[in-house]
A and B are shown apart, each in its own frame.
Chain A
């Protein structure tokens, strides 16, 4: 049975702190709708976040939740999942949280292929601290600490997660809302480390620095710069500039970490008995 979204919310914490039109709320809605479709039991869900506007998400949902330290959500979640593999553990991070301060934790969580779902709200900026550029700010774009244009290359999280050993990797957007819910659902169902990067809007920090004054304007930009993998393949390097590819990029089966560790326990206990 479908439930009202409010069933999953901590009502007393609303209205939430996010700015008008902020994509964080759209992401929250998509996550909750995916959970509702899967009919997961609220008691079995742990939602863990780092620090940033997007990471405030965990304060609003009626699960076992943790708003941890900047960049560290994945290792906290790893501890929870190892201690209680029955729990369904969802990790929500901002682009800075995940790829800058938490970059090492991200590649190692993927390398272990531990059964967590990492959702990265990529608004291409440090929102909470007021619009400094992040490792996912595209080259040439502006941030308060890149007032003359960003000279850094940006990470491609999809490639990073794939190379590091994840089992499922996808990219969606807050504009393409129904496909986004499906991607999240698939990630949740995946045994192993699953990643959904979500291109999102921060009209206040990113929008203002990059000549998009409103949330609808930002969503139009997101809509117009997203292309499917099929289209992407046929674009020249020049055409790919300022565009990004969305969809599913990896979906493989391989041994998951808590299951492998259960085998370690078995081996250790057999040895003990043998002695």
Chain B
């Protein structure tokens, strides 16, 4: 995991998940509805990937996050960095 300001970046060679710890309000939506159960809650209820390699880059966590706090790069149709 790398840190960039309030952002925590988790990466392997196919996917990069970024969680903005300041914007995240620990609502639990991304964890609950991840089809692959990639995410788990830290002690503050905010997500981090426990199973990054299972991520299919479906992008649902990002699309449903009410706080623009989680992004997934490598998702089809989305700009790769």
A and B assemble together: yes
Chain A interface (Cβ within 8 Å of chain B)?
A: 1-6, 9, 14-16, 18-26, 28-30, 33, 174-175, 177-178, 181, 203, 214-216, 219-220
- Contacting residue for B22 out of A4, A15, A22, A178, CB 8 A: A15
Least Cβ–Cβ distance between B32 and chain A, in angstroms:
4
- Contacting residue for B66 out of A2, A6, A21, A175, CB 8 A: A21
B63 contacts A18, C-beta separation under 8 Å? no
Assuming the contacts A9-B68, A29-B66, asked whether A214 and B28 have C-beta atoms less than 8 A apart, the reply is yes
- Chain B residues whose C-beta falls within 8 Å of the C-beta of A16 in the assembled complex: 67
Residue of B nearest to A18 (CB): B66
Q: A219-B29, A219-B64 are in contact. List 11 more A-B contacts (CB 8 A).
A: A3-B79, A15-B23, A19-B25, A21-B66, A29-B63, A174-B64, A214-B27, A216-B28, A216-B33, A219-B32, A219-B33
Interface string of B18-44 (1 = CB under 8 A from A): 000011011111011100000000000
Residue of B nearest to A32 (CB): B68
Q: Which of B60, B68, B77, B78 has the most CB of A within 10 A?
A: B68
**A20–B32 alpha-carbon span in the complex (Å):** 14
B65 contacts A25, C-beta separation under 8 Å? yes
Interface string of B43-59 (1 = CB under 8 A from A): 00000000000000000
A216 contacts B32, C-beta separation under 8 Å? yes
Q: List 25 A-B residue pairs with CB atoms under 8 Å apart, sorted by A's residue number.
A: A3-B79, A4-B79, A14-B68, A15-B25, A18-B66, A19-B25, A21-B27, A21-B29, A21-B66, A22-B27, A23-B66, A24-B66, A25-B65, A25-B68, A26-B66, A29-B63, A30-B63, A33-B63, A178-B63, A214-B27, A214-B28, A215-B28, A215-B66, A216-B33, A219-B32
Interface size on B, residues (CB 8 A): 21
Least Cβ–Cβ distance between A184 and chain B, in angstroms:
12
**A220–B32 alpha-carbon span in the complex (Å):** 10
Q: Which of A24, A174, A203 has the most CB of B within 10 A?
A: A174
- Chain A residues whose C-beta falls within 8 Å of the C-beta of B29 in the assembled complex: 21, 215-216, 219
- Chain A residues whose C-beta falls within 8 Å of the C-beta of B60 in the assembled complex: 177
Q: Which of B26, B29, B71 has the most CB of A within 10 A?
A: B29
Residue of B nearest to A181 (CB): B63
A20 contacts B27, C-beta separation under 8 Å? yes
Assuming the contacts A20-B27, A216-B32, asked whether A15 and B67 have C-beta atoms less than 8 A apart, the reply is yes
- Chain B residues whose C-beta falls within 8 Å of the C-beta of A178 in the assembled complex: 63
